[in-house]
Amino acid sequence: MRLVTLAAGDHECAGVVIEGRVLLLEAASGGRLADPRPGKTALPLKAILPDPELMQDVRDVAARGEQDPSFLDRFAIPLREQDLHAPIPRPGKVLCLGLNYRDHAAESGAEVPDEPVIFSKAPSSVIGPGDPIRLPETSDQVDYEVELAFVIGAPARNVHASQAMYHVAGYTVLNDVTARDYQHVRGGGQWTLAKSFDTFCPIGPWIVTPDEVPDPHDLTLECRIGGEVLQSGSTSEMIFKIPQIIEYLSAVLTLEPGDVVGTGTPPGVGFARTPQRFLQAGDLLECTVQSIGTLVNPVRA
């Protein structure tokens, strides 16, 4: 299933993409996927993903939508990029791996790390499909990084790698936008600010459930600007794989429902190119991960 968060009327709700339309979960479930709290209407994906009973409701509703055209007509709306938000609009945490592709470590002039290099992006930097990446006045070295990201369902704490995949609710595309001047010169050795400007974390367009991604470590990924391919690689090149990442992180902190983890980027980023290629107002960025989808964001001043 492809799970989305979208604006429908005056509220935000969760849906399943079926045949180019979005089946609205709250309405299609007869209220089982509605939020009982006063003033709330639809349950967010963050609440649905960790709950096996609610996920079964989602699968039942989606199956009915696929089999029954009149059901789909009644509860689905057209899929339009401008309605989509990030599938998790405000994750509790966004964690990422640095230098997790051998060839990207090499182009960055860095050693292949012995342990995962972990940093965080501020949850307030998250934007959705079609939303503009805003170039800050204080940086002229804003760069792109296409990444496969996974989304946490059931909470994970001290989870062994052999049990880790149970905690993955699905996969999405993440663009780890980075101000290289803040990363390399102005950040005092810390990457947090470089990675956390408002709009620097496009996520989407949806979450694909694991049943549709048999091997997340064998997917091609690509970043294009205006059709020109700048990054191209395969998740098979990842140094630390998803089960190891979850074991490593969950030994330190609790991975909570809706947390998003970016797994690193392949080579071809702007600062390592000759000549360097940083984002400019007017660029149209397209980040694609095979079997997941394409995340498109314009760049604005």
Closest to 173 in 3D by CA, of 205, 125, 197: 205
Which one of 26, 57, 83, 176 is in contact with Zn ion (CB under 5 A)? 176
Query: Which backbone phi and psi does 250 adopt, to 5 degrees?
Result: -75, -10
In this structure, are residues 104 and 267 in contact, taking their beta carbons and an 8 Å threshold?
yes
CA 201 to chain centre: 8
**Which range touches Zn ion (CB under 5 A), out of 2-10, 92-100, 215-223, 266-274?**
92-100
Residue (21 or 224) nearer to Zn ion, CB: 224
Q: How far is the CB of 76 from Zn ion (least distance, A)?
A: 35
CA 243 to chain centre: 18
In this structure, are residues 72 and 64 in contact, taking their beta carbons and an 8 Å threshold?
no
Q: Which residues within the stretch 234-263 sit at the binding site for Zn ion (CB under 5 A)?
A: none
Residue (104 or 167) nearer to Zn ion, CB: 104
**Which range touches Zn ion (CB under 5 A), out of 37-45, 144-152, 223-231, 242-250?**
144-152
Which one of 26, 143, 145, 181 is in contact with Zn ion (CB under 5 A)? 145
Query: Site for Zn ion (CB under 5 A): how many residues?
Result: 4
Residue (108 or 290) nearer to Zn ion, CB: 108
Q: How far is the CB of 204 from Zn ion (least distance, A)?
A: 16
Residue (75 or 171) nearer to Zn ion, CB: 171
Cα dist. 181→23, 138, 193, 252 in Å? 43, 9, 10, 30
Residue (183 or 209) nearer to Zn ion, CB: 183
**Which range touches Zn ion (CB under 5 A), out of 57-65, 88-96, 108-116, 243-251?**
88-96
5: CB partners within 8 A, 6+ apart: 12, 13, 14, 15, 44, 45, 84, 85, 86, 87, 88, 89, 128
**Which range touches Zn ion (CB under 5 A), out of 145-153, 199-207, 225-233, 248-256?**
145-153
Q: How far is the CB of 119 from Zn ion (least distance, A)?
A: 8
Instruction: Give the nearest residue (CB) to Zn ion.
Output: 176
Residue (96 or 289) nearer to Zn ion, CB: 96
265 binding Zn ion? (CB under 5 A): yes
Residues contributing to the site for Zn ion (CB under 5 A): 96, 145, 176, 265
